[in-house]
Structure 1
C-alpha cells in the first residue's frame, strides 16, 4: 500500500505553523469534552455538567505534562539531558502513553478531592473517554510518519519516509483500532450497565496493556533502548504491570460485589 505522505503541517499562517499532531490533540480533548458532557447528564454521574470544563483542563495538563515527562524518562532520557529545552518543543512529537496515564491519574486525584467524590468513581467517569483520545493520537503518529512498524511482506505494508525502502507494518493504525476504537466500544458498553466499582478501570488497564503488548511485536523497537531478554521492548515492559494491575482491580471489583 502507498503511504499517503501527508504534510505534517496542517496550516501554515506564516507567523505560526499548525501541525497535524497538535490538531489531533485538540480533537482528542474536544471528543472528551463532548462525551463528558453527555455522561455528566446521566443520573449515576459523579461529575456534574458545570464541572466538565474544569475536568478537561485537569486532564489536559495531566496528559501533556505526564506524557512529555514519560517520553523523556522512559524513552529519550539521554537526549533530554543533552538538550534540556527539547521537552518544551511538543510540536516535534514525543509523548509517552504510560507517562500520560500517570499524569492523568494524579490530575484525577486532585480533581476528585476538589469535588469531594471517591477517586475510583471519578476515574471511571473519565476512563471510557480515554480511548478516543488514543485513537486521535495514533492517527497523528501515522500522519507524522513516526512510530512505524517492523518490515513485512504483507500487501498492507507501507514504505514510510525515513524508514528505508522496506514496506513496514502500519502499526500506528493497528493501535488506533485496538487501543482506540475497539477499546472505546468495549468500555463505553460496559460503563452503561450496572457494574461493581473498579471494573471499568480494571478492564481499561488490562485491555490497553494487552493490545499494546501484542502490537509491540510488529512495531519497530525504539532506537537506543535495549530489549529485555533480547525480545521485550520498553513498551511491553511498561504494559506488564498495567495488565497485572488491571487483573487485580477486576478481581477486587468482583470480590467487593460479592461481599456487598
Structure 2
C-alpha cells in the first residue's frame, strides 16, 4: 500500500496549461510583494514607524512605493546573481550573460521560455538589504527603523513564495518513507533513481510503491519541504514578529529577530531539504560518503546551513552592538539631562 501523499493532479507550473508566461511561481511572488507592501503601509499608517522607532521624519505613501522599488530591485538582482554564481558557477562563470536570459533549449533544440530558474533566498536577503540601505541613505531615513518595519512585513509574503516553489514542483526535500512524504510527478530524470541499486528497491518497498515491470528508474516520495518552510519561516516567524513589534527595546531589534528566526528555522528544515547535487555537503563529520537524497546524520552540513549559521551569528552580533549603542545613548542623554 502506498504510504505517500499524491501531489495534486490539477496543479501544474502554468496557471493555464500551454501558456508558459503565466506561471504560479511568478503570481505567488507578486502576491508576496503585495502582502509585504500592505503590511508595511499598515504599520506606517498606524503611526508605528514614528512611535516605536523614535524616528522623527514621517514616511509618505510615495516614500513606501519608492522604497519597495529599490528593495525589490536589489532583491531580484541579489537572488539571481547569488543563486547562479554560488550554486552553479561552472555554468554561469563561463557564460555570465545567461544569468538574466529567461530562455533555454529543450530536448528537440527548440528555444522555450523557462523564466529565471535559480533564485537564492540568501542572495535576495543581501540584495534587498543593500537596496534598503542605499534608499535610506539617499532619502535620509534611519535604516534600523525602516528595516524593523520591513522585517515584520516580509515573512507572511515569503509563505506565498514557497507555495510558488511547491506549485513549480521544485526545491522538494529528501526521499522519505514517512506518511507525510509526497511524490512530485514533475521531478526530472536527474532526480529519479535506478532500480538496479538494491537500496532503491528496498526504499520503494518500504514506501509501499509498486515497481512496474521492466522499469529502470523510479520516482520516490519526498518531504514537501517547501510547505515546511512556508509554515515555519513564513507564518510562524511572522506571528512572532507581529506580536512583539510594539515592544522592541531599540531600533534594529526586529530585523535582528527576523534574521535570527529565519536562520534558526531554515537550518533545521535543511535536514529535510535535498542539497544541491553539485554542492553536496561542504562540511561532513559523518562516516563514509554522504548520500544527499537520504537523511543520514545531523553532522552532514549543507551550503544552506552554512549560510543560515552566518545569519544567526551575524544577527546575534548585530543585536549586541545595537544594544550597547542604545545603552550608551541613553547614558549620554541621562548625563546631559541631569
| Greater helix fraction, Structure 1 or Structure 2 | 1
Structure 1 partner of 2:181: 157
The answer on 1:240 being equivalent to 2:264 is: no
Choose the corresponding residue for 1:33, options 34, 37, 54: 37
Aligned residue pairs total: 259
Structure 1 partner of 2:210: none
- Residue 102 of structure 1 deviates from its aligned partner by 0.7
Distance 1:75 1:256 in 2: 37
- Residue 136 of structure 1 deviates from its aligned partner by 1.2
Structure 2 partner of 1:91: 115
Structure 1 partner of 2:227: 173
* Worse-matched range after superposition: 159-168 or 51-60: 159-168
Q: Deviations over 1:223-254 (max 9, x none)?
A: 10131232111101111110001112233344
Q: Are the counterparts in 2 of residues 41 and 49 from structure 1 also a CA contact under 8 Å?
A: no
Tell me the SS of whatever aligns to 2:81.
Answer: helix
The answer on 1:24 being equivalent to 2:36 is: no
1:219-230 aligned at under 5 Å gives the runs: 219-230=273-284
Q: Are the counterparts in 1 of residues 173 and 222 from structure 2 also a CA contact under 8 Å?
A: yes
Tell me the SS of whatever aligns to 2:247.
Answer: coil
TM-score under structure 2 length normalisation: 0.72
Structure 1's 65 and 92: CA in aligned 2 closer, same or farther, altered over 3 A?
closer
1:1-260 aligned at under 5 Å gives the runs: 1-5=5-9, 6-11=11-16, 17-45=21-49, 47-88=59-100, 89=102, 91-161=115-185, 162=187, 163-164=191-192, 165-230=219-284, 231-259=300-328, 260=330
Distance 1:113 1:256 in 2: 20
- Residue 43 of structure 1 deviates from its aligned partner by 2.4
Runs of 4+ in structure 1 off by over 6 angstroms are none
Structure 1's 211 and 21: CA in aligned 2 closer, same or farther, altered over 3 A?
same
TM-score under structure 1 length normalisation: 0.92
Q: Are the counterparts in 2 of residues 202 and 248 from structure 1 also a CA contact under 8 Å?
A: no
Tell me the SS of whatever aligns to 2:141.
Answer: coil
Tell me the SS of whatever aligns to 2:6.
Answer: coil
Tell me the SS of whatever aligns to 1:93.
Answer: coil
Distance 1:174 1:197 in 2: 30
Tell me the SS of whatever aligns to 1:149.
Answer: coil
- Residue 79 of structure 1 deviates from its aligned partner by 2.1
Q: Are the counterparts in 2 of residues 8 and 19 from structure 1 also a CA contact under 8 Å?
A: yes
Q: Are the counterparts in 2 of residues 201 and 249 from structure 1 also a CA contact under 8 Å?
A: no
The alignment yields a C-alpha RMSD, in angstroms, of 1.9
Q: Are the counterparts in 1 of residues 156 and 235 from structure 2 also a CA contact under 8 Å?
A: yes
Distance 2:22 2:255 in 1: 34
Distance 1:71 1:247 in 2: 25
Q: Deviations over 1:4-57 (max 9, x none)?
A: 15110114686x721111101110111112112111113241533331111111
Distance 1:92 1:100 in 2: 14
Distance 1:96 1:139 in 2: 15
